Structure 1
């Protein structure tokens, strides 16, 4: 079996933390030949989608109680080849957001490959439709009070109703651009004008959940079924728990409420062809559904002792 991974440049990947590297390692351990390319290397010739890719040979990695131990170098590269995507059993689209023009064009080419029988994880059309923030709106009963709007008056009314809220840009990731606001703060109107780009862009506002001080749970789902979870606890004095902004990962299990949320999402995710997803849960509430390049595999493997990447590969 041959599997292709489309990611950001290898120099940007952190093998001790990056789920894409965990998946590559799992594919290699399962006997697949791992190929890698950047999405910008895709092209279509007479309807056949090809890629300028190269095989990777991953150096064995392991973890101990302190974390992952990664050799340097952690991979070897083979010769670059122009390959048809029809020659790969699975193509993983793992480029990080933003979902910009380059991402949209790559997804369009992958959709053409899909029409020719190529298995793409996750489904290209769903990658474009299931925005990390907006897709959770399909399940309003699972969410805290939420509004998505670019209208400052509407946002102001929501903030005055709930008094303490979190504002999230729809294209943000890793906690970037997320701010907390209250109805009593000075300059609230100016802040809303700033985050909406003078009412040209919608933002998501959500009632602040005090439970976030105890952590934000990342649950990893494969074909709608959970394979592991970690809790991400924010730093002292910080409300954002994302690992990218200093959150601390902790081992955790799943509550009855967590399982109920997973069951509610399972069939819609399967129908959408979203095979590998990371959902965020704060207390009893669903916060986000991450479909582009969900993270957390390394932490689940290290802290939970669960071979999560191997389980993902086995089920996909």
Structure 2
């Protein structure tokens, strides 16, 4: 196959931990060709097919110079056997527009993973509400009073913006209500911005587990991201410690159920965030933790992903 990765600049990759790099490495090892572009390089001109300025690359295996590339060229997106959308969040207006351009490329014959319409239809925090039986008690609102009432009922809560990533903007408010008003003002902007509020889960001390689902099937190991010091956030970007561990039966059952529901919607790769046995987010834009699991548990997540991609492309023919 010839695979196009739509991603952040290659020069920004930290290849020792980047999951997109792990996908590329497995793809090349299985004999597939790799091409890359960034979302801003995609264009659609009246009367033409969606195209992009792309870079054909070959991985070198050398950490200091990890890829070689040919001269840049313009290519129609429908020319590729598969397109993998790996642009990191946030899901802002430009990301939204990119999904529309990729959707047009689909109409022209391209096969895009994850499916652009499904990226729009499954915002990563709101998506948990479809599976409320597995989630902590959750409120999504623009009302400051709703938030205050939720705190009065549940006492210990987590507040976060709907468009945050990497643990940004997450606050905990305990029974004393310390700083609740200020936090509401910061996140809610006087009713202008929606806020997600969840009952605090003390099991976070054992880790916020990233459970990967590929082609509807759970990866048999997860990465428990354990908060350090006085931090309430386990996100690796917020200083959490990642520890790979076998998937517990309860988490496997949750992942199998959600995978069976979401994979047929065009979501080839899903990353659940699970605290205790409660899902707090369903990540579909650019789920990570491939390399941490591969390095610690020895399970080839990248290979599992490329095998699932090969099957998805073959099934779509």
CA distance in 2, matches of 1:115, 1:126: 15
* Aligned match for 1:264, one of 257, 262, 267: 257
1:10 paired residue number = 10
Q: Is the 8 A contact 2:7 2:88 kept in 1?
A: yes
Aligned counterparts of 1:197 and 1:156: Cα–Cα separation in 2? 15
**d(CA) in 1 for partners of 2:12 and 2:131?**
34
User: Equivalences for 1:184-203 in 2 at 5 Å?
Assistant: 184-203=176-195
TM-score by length of 1: 0.94
Q: How far apart are the structure 1 equivalents of 2:48 and 2:125?
A: 33
Q: After TM superposition, what 4+ stretches of structure 1 lie above 6 angstroms from structure 2?
A: none
1:247 aligned residue:
240
Contact 2:271 2:287 (8 Å CA) reproduced: yes
Q: Partners of 2:203 and 2:183 in 1: how far apart?
A: 25
Give distance in 1, aligned partners of 2:242 and 2:138.
Answer: 26
Instruction: Choose from 268, 275, 287 the match for 1:294.
Output: 287
Which residue pairs with 2:39 in the alignment? 39
Mapped to 1, the partners of 2:124 and 2:181 lie a distance apart of 26
Q: Which residue of 2 aligns with 1:308?
A: 301
User: Which SS does the other structure have where 1:139 is aligned?
Assistant: helix
User: Aligned pair 1:211/2:203, yes or no?
Assistant: yes
Residue of structure 2 in register with 1:66 after alignment: none
Structure-2 separation of matches of 1:174 and 1:193: 21
TM-score when normalising by structure 2: 0.94
Is it true that 1:54 corresponds to 2:46 in the alignment? no
Task: Note if contact 2:218-2:259 (Cα within 8 Å) is conserved in structure 1.
Answer: no
1:22 corresponds in structure 2 to 22
Partner Cα separation in structure 2 for residue 96 and residue 179 of structure 1: 22
Alpha-carbon distance in 2 for matches of 1:90, 1:180: 41
Confirm or deny: 8 A CA contact 1:167 1:206 kept in the other structure: yes
In the TM superposition, residue 25 of structure 1 has moved relative to its aligned partner by 1.0
Shift of 1:47: 4.6
CA displacement 1:192-223 (0-9 Å, x = unmatched): 12211111111111011000001011111112
Give 3-state SS (helix, strand or coil) of 1:258's partner: helix
Number of residue-to-residue matches in the alignment: 307
Counterparts of 1:186 and 1:311, CA distance in 2 = 46
Q: Distance in 2 between matches of 1:186 and 1:3?
A: 51
Contact 1:174-1:242 within 8 A present in 2 as well: yes
Residue among 72, 75, 80 paired with 2:72: 80
Instruction: Give the secondary structure class of the aligned counterpart of 2:44.
Output: strand
The residue correspondences of 1:158-197 to structure 2 (distance < 5 A) are 158-197=150-189
Instruction: Structure 2: give runs of 5+ residues left out of the alignment.
Output: 310-317
More off after superposition, 263-272 vs 140-149: 263-272
CA shift, 1:182, in A, is 2.3
Separation in 2 of the partners of 1:237 and 1:176?
Answer: 16
CA–CA distance in 2 between the matches of 1:268 and 1:168? Answer: 26
Kept in 2, the 8 Å contact 1:47–1:112? The answer is: no
Q: Which residue of 2 aligns with 1:141?
A: 133
* 5+ long unaligned stretches in structure 1: 61-69
